[in-house]
Each structure stands twice: as C-alpha cells, then as structure tokens.
C-alpha cells in the first residue's frame, strides 16, 4: 500500500517516523509531508526521515492561518490527485483530512487535545478511524462527529519512547529544562505564557535550559536554546522538566525524569493518567514551582517495568490499515 502521513509539528514528525518505520517494515510505501515550521524540518533531518515540505505555518492572524491552509491544501491536492495514496494518517492534520476526504482516501487520525476545538471541528468529522488513549472518555471526541474510535492503554508518546535511545548531551548539572508554552495555537488565544517566569524562578537551583518555540532571545541567567537540539534526549538527561502540559513533559516522565506541569490549558487527562500509572509527572501552580522543584529535582525513577505495561498506538494503527485493506 501507499500511505501518506502529514506532520504539522515536531511531535507529528516523531509520531510519523515511528508509524512509517513500522509500515515500511511490512513492505508498505510511506510518503511523509510537512510544512515549514520551527519544529519540523530540523527534526526530520535529525531522524533521517525524508519529507516533502509543503506550505508553511503562519499563525499571525486568523486570515493568515486560513490563507496558508487553503494554499497548502491546493498544493497537496496537486501532489496527490494523479496518484492518490491508499490511506492517509495524521495527528489531526486538517489539511490531510480535507484533501484525503476530497479524493476519497480513508484516513486514520490520532488525537490528544480535546481542547483544540478548531482543529478537531475541521478535521475529525472527516476521518474514518480515530485512535486515542484510554485516558480520554470517548464522549470528548464523539462530539466532533467521530464514530469509529479505537483506544489503547497508553499515551501517544509511547510510540517513539518505547525503543528510543537518547543521544549523549553535555550540560552542567543539575539540569532543569523548561519548555515554552504554545503561544500561537488557536487554543492558546487569551492565555498568558508564564514559562519564562517559571524559568527565572528556578535559576538558583541549577542550570536552566529554556526551550523556546518561535523566537530565540537571550536571557540573563538562562541557557536559551538557539539551535536545534534533540529535546527527547535533552529531557532524558535532565534532572527536572517544567512545562504547561505537553509532549516534552510526558516524554520526560516516560523516561523516568520528574516533570512539573503548570496546567494553564486546564485538566490534562493524559498527564493524570500517567501519574496514576506511577510515572513521575506532577501538576502544580506557578507559585508552587520552586517548592515542587526542590522536592522532585534529581529524583529520577526507574520506569522500565511501568513502560512495558503500556500499549504502542502504532500497533493499533497498523492493524486498522491492514484490516481496512481486506474489508
């Protein structure tokens, strides 16, 4: 089969690479597309994943988002209309969902952000199968018009952490990694980015590495990443990770690194799920960050036995594609 994966962010690149690796091992052809985005191209090069760059991320205004998405959909249509793939897979790519649906191509989507209302409304009603963690009540996604929901005992990040071998990095210890909040996503509108403030509160406790998303400004007393670094390896080597709830926090916890989450986007089902499973991920307020940091700094946990109990969503995705092919 010829399968198309569209990766819109760095997380999608890692997810797509894991899915593509499994499908290629079974003899399938996988075509991966991405867009010009701060987290995609350099990561694809690092993972040695060949990608076609189609369009760009332009979140400066509602009209720029719409314009670039429409342009990108037209470019993707031109790329696939003469030879459509037999299946499309993404982590909620609106562009893939729309183009694949228009070409009559069945799709699978993964998802872990029920609060991303705009993306979910635009893409999920068009997918054939939705694969989500058992951390989520199905009702959270059924309301978007998705009926064929398959769940797994784990979180998305298991897909690439399961077999991940961190590269060696040299940073002064104790190493505290702070990930900047997503500030330009549609669901982040009206939310204040408090991660830089959190980073400043931690300077006295160790070497604070601040991982920005878009702009890379120097900050006295902080090590602000200016170039690409494999952040999955970075959090594996860290003594503490601080963020507002996303992928890096779970990547850290799945590798045994204590992770603090300031829940500015509300309750996170997947973070609570991992905490209940025994992984070192903890919620706290901004004001309590120094207190929690002192408590959990350098308290790495051996999570190997916990990790093997979780399901790999790639296996479910593979089975769905194989099953659909013969139905």
Rg (CA), the chain: 19
CATH topology of domain 2-153+311-325: Rossmann fold (3.40.50)
Averages of pLDDT over each 10 residues, the chain, 327 residues: 96 97 96 94 95 91 92 97 97 97 97 92 96 96 92 97 92 95 61 85 96 84 92 97 92 97 88 97 96 96 97 96 74
Contact 39, 5 (CB under 8 A): no
With b meaning 16 or more CB within 10 Å and e meaning fewer, what string describes 273-287?
Answer: bbbebebbbbbbeee
Contact 124, 97 (CB under 8 A): yes
For 63, the enclosing helix (H) or strand (E) is helix 62-80
- What is the C-alpha separation between 27 and 262, in angstroms, rounded? 43
**DSSP code string of 86-154:** SEEEESS-HHHHHHHHHTT--EEEE---TT-HHHHHHHGGG-SEEEEETTS-THHHHTTT---EEEESS
pLDDT for the residue 73: 97
Domain ranges across the chain:
2-153+311-325, 175-307
Contact 94, 119 (CB under 8 A): yes
pLDDT for the residue 323: 82
pLDDT for the residue 38: 85
Strands (E), the chain: 2-7, 29-36, 52-56, 87-90, 107-110, 129-133, 149-152, 175-179, 207-211, 223-224, 240-243, 259-261, 281-283
What's the CATH superfamily of 175-307?
Glycogen Phosphorylase B; (3.40.50.2000)
First CA to last CA distance, the chain: 14
pLDDT for the residue 164: 92
> Measuring CA to CA, which residue among 155, 166, 149 is closest to residue 268?
155
Same CATH fold assignment for domains 2-153+311-325 and 175-307: yes
Tokens 């769940």, residue? Answer: 151
Contact 175, 237 (CB under 8 A): yes
Cis peptide bond prior to 304, omega within 30° of 0: no
């Amino acid at each position: 089969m010829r399968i198309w994966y569209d990766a819109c962010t760095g997380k999608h690149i890692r997810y797509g690479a894991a899915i593509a690796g499994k499908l290629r091992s079974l003899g399938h052809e996988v075509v991966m597309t991405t867009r010009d985005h701060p987290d995609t191209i350099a990561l694809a090069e690092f993972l040695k994943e060949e990608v076609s760059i189609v369009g760009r991320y332009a979140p400066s205004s509602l009209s720029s988002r719409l314009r670039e998405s429409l342009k990108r959909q037209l470019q993707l249509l031109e790329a696939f209309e003469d030879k459509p793939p037999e299946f499309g897979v993404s982590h909620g790519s609106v562009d893939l969902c729309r183009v694949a649906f228009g070409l009559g191509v069945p799709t699978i989507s993964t998802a872990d952000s029920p609060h991303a209302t705009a993306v979910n409304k635009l893409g999920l009603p068009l997918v054939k199968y939705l694969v989500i963690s058992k951390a989520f009540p199905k009702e959270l996604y059924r309301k978007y018009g998705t009926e064929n929901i398959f769940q797994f005992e784990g979180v998305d990040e298991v897909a690439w952490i399961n077999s991940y071998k961190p590269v060696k990095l040299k940073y002064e210890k104790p190493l505290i990694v702070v990930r900047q909040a997503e500030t330009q996503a549609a669901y982040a509108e009206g939310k204040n980015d408090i991660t830089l403030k959190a980073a400043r509160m931690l300077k006295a406790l160790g070497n604070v590495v601040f991982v920005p998303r878009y702009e890379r400004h120097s900050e006295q007393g902080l090590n602000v990443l200016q170039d690409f670094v494999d952040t999955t390896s970075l959090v594996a080597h860290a003594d503490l990770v601080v963020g507002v709830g996303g992928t890096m926090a779970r990547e850290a916890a799945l590798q045994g690194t204590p992770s603090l989450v300031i829940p500015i986007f509300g309750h996170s089902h997947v973070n609570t799920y991992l905490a209940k499973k025994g992984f070192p991920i903890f919620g706290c307020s901004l004001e309590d960050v120094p207190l929690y940091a002192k408590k959990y700094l350098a308290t790495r946990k051996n999570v190997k036995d916990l990790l093997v109990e979780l399901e790999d969503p790639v296996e479910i995705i593979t089975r769905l594609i194989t099953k659909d092919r013969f139905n």
